[in-house]
Amino acid sequence: MVKPKTEEEIALLRENAIIVSKTLAEVGKWVAPGVTTARLNEVAETFIRDHGAIPSFLGFEGFPAATCMSVNDVVVHGFPSDYVLKEGDIVSADIGTLYKGYNGDSAYTFPVGEVDAATRKLLDVTKASLYKGIEAAVAGARTGDIGHAVQSYVESFGFSVVRELEGHGLGRKMHEAPGIPNYGRQGHGPILPEGLVICIEPMINAGGRGVYLARNGWAVHTSDHKKSAHYELTVVVRRGKAEQLSTFDYIESTEK
């Protein structure tokens, strides 16, 4: 059931969103060649707990870590590990919180050191497609309008949309209705009511859209092993223009 939130609930979701946004920025300070993804996970978990929240991913349906750390051809749900980041890699940090009974959820793909031009283009286009999706998230529109906005933008650059995974509603549960695909047709899908809180999260591949599930049952890889980027923000559907709850401003204000 697609259910909008009250302004009181949105205020609590906003608090979570700010914690998640600041956690991602803290992780970003540590992203560098020679650092393990396990270390990034530790930084995130410590920051979340120091701010009075709980890392909601830890133990969720058996997930073994506080964050998802997805490197290069891992689209999402990568396990933090002893993998040592190297120059030219990319790593998607996907982070969730539970605070005052509500959830926060956001993701950002960081370049490790200097990346090549093709990788930079993938990152830039994927992030821009997220904002295209947000522009479409207005009261009275449909989920297909968001998906179409993302898909039409990224495909114009020759990139591919992962179709097996999607964004979602957010509230007391980490994943609520409706699903928010990153592809679709305008005017199709559930109607977006004012006050609905959703996570829009393009997962975009440099190559083909095919993916497969790793043996661990979690990590999703690109079938052709080309890189994939992932960005996620939480927004409130409003009339005329969506309201962002999470933000990349904390990350990008510290980037050189």
Does the global pTM surpass 0.95?
Answer: yes
Does the residue 102 lie in any domain? yes
The predicted pLDDT at position 63 comes to 98
Could you tell me the CATH number of the domain that includes residue 23?
3.90.230.10
- Taking phi first (over 0 means left), then psi (-120 to 50 degrees means alpha), and beta for anything else, what does residue 17 get? alpha
Does the residue 82 lie in any domain? yes
The predicted pLDDT at position 197 comes to 98
- The angle, 0 to 180 degrees and rounded to 10, between the axes of the packed helices 7-30 and 37-50 is 140
The predicted pLDDT at position 1 comes to 84
Token duo for residue 105: 């959820």
Does the residue 1 lie in any domain? no
Does the residue 128 lie in any domain? yes
The predicted pLDDT at position 210 comes to 98
Beta strand pairing status for 176-180 and 228-230?
unpaired
Dihedral sign of CA atoms 43, 48, 52, 58 in order: negative
Pick the closest to residue 114 from 85, 93, 94, 92 (CA basis). Answer: 85
Contact predicate 5/102, CB 8 Å: no
The predicted pLDDT at position 2 comes to 92
Does the residue 2 lie in any domain? no
Does the residue 98 lie in any domain? yes
- Taking phi first (over 0 means left), then psi (-120 to 50 degrees means alpha), and beta for anything else, what does residue 187 get? left
Token duo for residue 165: 């995974």
| Domain extent at residue 110 | 7-252
Does the residue 136 lie in any domain? yes
Tally of CB atoms within 10 A around 106: 27
Tally of CB atoms within 10 A around 36: 16
Give strand ranges (E) for 78-154: 90-99, 102-111
Does the residue 209 lie in any domain? yes
The predicted pLDDT at position 254 comes to 74
Q: What b-and-e string marks burial along 202-219, b requiring 16 or more CB atoms within 10 Å of the CB?
A: bbbbbbebebeeeeeebb
**Per-residue pLDDT for the chain (256 aa), expressed as one digit of tens each?**
899 999 999 999 999 999 999 999 999 999 999 999 999 999 999 999 999 999 999 999 999 999 999 999 999 999 999 999 999 999 999 999 999 999 999 999 999 999 999 999 999 999 999 999 999 999 999 999 999 999 999 999 999 999 999 999 999 999 999 999 999 999 999 999 999 999 999 999 999 999 999 999 999 999 999 999 999 999 999 999 999 999 999 999 976 5
Could you give the number of structural domains in the chain? 1
